[in-house]
Amino acid sequence: MIQVSRTVSIDERAVEESFIRASGPGGQNVNKVETAVQLRLSLDRAGLPPAVRARLEKLAGRRLTQDGQILITAQQHRTQERNRAAAMEALVGLVRRATVAPVKRVATKPTYGSKLRRLEEKARRSGIKRGRATGRDGE
């Protein structure tokens, strides 16, 4: 089990990793060695609570495939091990962000003082604009 938070963990069998050739720096090594890592998290096998899964699907965006997998690619580093760690860190960070439930907004009413200030400002602006007017309507 991959521990994400105190209450949420991911089943290791839900995560598959594969290695591909990376683009970018690396000299001749980049053409010979498969250093980039692709992590696939199967949401069906991950064992996440429904609310966390729903938020994770929304946060994943383009990384979510049509068959319900999250695809994360890491190719910043020159070694497989560092890319593997970076991909796993990105996956855990994404799931950790999904575990935090959004705070419900509590609607509040404007105070009496704020209503008065708003109306006074409207009257002041109205007077300024009335002073700019020309002709008999503006008098």
Q: What is the pLDDT of residues 20-55, one digit of tens each?
A: 777 766 566 666 677 778 888 887 777 777 888 888
Q: Name the phi and psi angles at 113, rounded to 5.
A: -65, -40
CATH number of 2-99: 3.30.160.20
128: its two tokens: 């300024």
Share of residues in the chain with pLDDT > 70 (%): 83
3-state percent helix, strand, coil for the chain, nearest multiple of 5: 45, 15, 40
